[in-house]
Structure 1
């Protein structure tokens, strides 16, 4: 259970040297962070009405539901040391399918509709969403590049990873995965539109169940105790309510922030699916089964969006 951090050098020096070596990535991360901060601060200045506070409550409850989904999924790892790799890949494929469909039907398409309504132009409305997607992808690429973390299959990544205890590296990796999901829930409720927020929350909470189990079993597989693995998996689910509050703040202010925020959350989720979830399901020779799981998850999310939207 090594949470220690080695003391060689300083984090500032490590990040500075890494940024100098990768100036384009550093610029993209800095620019996306500045825009996110600006949108969040501007939105907070407008979140004074009882209506806006209610939207924040919706987002907080939605993020909490996702935390519960992660925790419910993780608990069986107290008894299970592992599950068949085929089953794990199918479950993660199912989660990827739900995330893909949620990005399309509950984030990007509503964002285009909102942007078109605000600007009076299909092209301008789509452009706002594309801008948000670009910011979301740049944010996730930068965080992935500059945050030390570790995946079970590919090992440690990011600057200064050798200075972190292995438990911290796994925690950071899970955080990079969970935070955009919570942010998507918050953006979905930013205008109080339950027809967007409810199916999105339901989808993410459902797909968090197999993800929570996979995370806890991964921690067990690398040598952590059952209780510690479950507690860490549950704790990382707390990032989803925090991300939800950030999301509702991002898109709850001036009108143009809403389609941009939807695009940002959609782009961040698409990055996670493409960069992490799908490759993870294709590393063990079960690509067909994982793809079938993805199709089932995508179809279920379409049904949820139609039924609850």
Structure 2
């Protein structure tokens, strides 16, 4: 599990060479990180108000609910070494459906509505959300490209992956998955709108249950002990409350930050669903079951948004 950062061939030099080889990808990541940093800086003062502090508490509670969902899902891996591949693919399809619906109904559409109210223009309101989506996608593309990580089917990827222990590679992969979910919860509560934050955090917490189990079983499948696999899966769930704090900071500042933040979280989640979750469910010949699971998850999230929104 040790990360090799020897002076002879440090990881950062590999990363620098990788960035030089992919200048557009590196530029997009740097631009998205710079914009996010500016949004966070301008929100620091505003978050000192009592109202904003309450929004932070809401976001933290939502993130903790997602952490609990991940933990509950991971615990059965103490006893289970595997589950049928059909069941796993349908469960992940269910999670993908909930994430897709959450992106649409709890992030992008409310973002367009908020942007329209602020700018008094549907075109400008939609443009703000699209701008946020572009930032979110650039962020996730850059992190995926420049962070060493490993997936069960595709193997190690990212610069310097050969210098990382395999457990670390899986941890980084899960981190890339969980971060945008936590950010989405935080952005949903950034203006104290429970009608957006509550169904969103409920949906993500529910879909984290099968994801937590899948993560723990994947670690068991590659040879890690049951306890270690569960602890790693549970530990990665901590990224969701941390992501929630990041999300509420992003969208809790000036007025235009809110629709942009909703678009950013929505774009990041759509990237994860398209780039990670759906391909994983379609690699084993169970596309139909995975699609059915996706439809059920989408319908459940749509129902939750209607009942809780």
> Shared topology, TM-score over 0.5?
yes
1:25-80 Cα distance to aligned partner (Å, 9 max, x none): 00000000000111011111211110000000000000000000000000000000
Give the superposed CA RMSD. 0.7
Residue in 1 aligned with 2:173? 173
Residue in 2 aligned with 1:131? 131
Residue in 1 aligned with 2:144? 144
Residue in 2 aligned with 1:5? 4
Distance across 2 between alignment mates of 1:260 and 1:35: 11
Residue in 1 aligned with 2:24? 24
Distance across 2 between alignment mates of 1:221 and 1:200: 31
TM-superposed deviation, 1:12 = 2.1
Matches within 5 A, 1:266-285: 266-285=266-285
Unpaired runs of 5+ residues, structure 1, are none
CA contact (8 A) 1:250 1:257 kept: yes
- 3-state DSSP class of the match of 1:150? strand
1:240-288 Cα distance to aligned partner (Å, 9 max, x none): 0000000000000100000000000000000000000000000000000
Distance across 1 between alignment mates of 2:305 and 2:3: 44
Unpaired runs of 5+ residues, structure 2, are none
Matches within 5 A, 1:112-131: 112-131=112-131
TM-superposed deviation, 1:5 = 2.6
- 3-state DSSP class of the match of 1:224? coil
**Structure 1 runs of 4+ with >3 Å offset:** none
Residue in 2 aligned with 1:156? 156
- 3-state DSSP class of the match of 2:150? strand
Distance across 2 between alignment mates of 1:3 and 1:97: 36
TM-superposed deviation, 1:152 = 0.7
Residue in 2 aligned with 1:41? 41
CA contact (8 A) 2:92 2:210 kept: yes
CA contact (8 A) 1:103 1:269 kept: yes
Residue in 1 aligned with 2:203? 203
Residue in 2 aligned with 1:55? 55
1:175-213 Cα distance to aligned partner (Å, 9 max, x none): 000010000000000000000000000000000000000
CA contact (8 A) 1:216 1:229 kept: yes
| Bigger mean CA deviation after superposition, 44-53 or 55-64 | 44-53
Distance across 2 between alignment mates of 1:141 and 1:22: 12
Residue in 1 aligned with 2:70? 70
TM-score (norm 2): 0.99
CA contact (8 A) 1:6 1:164 kept: no
Distance across 1 between alignment mates of 2:10 and 2:115: 44
TM-score (norm 1): 0.99
TM-superposed deviation, 1:15 = 1.2
User: What is the number of equivalent residue pairs in this alignment?
Assistant: 308
CA contact (8 A) 2:4 2:10 kept: no
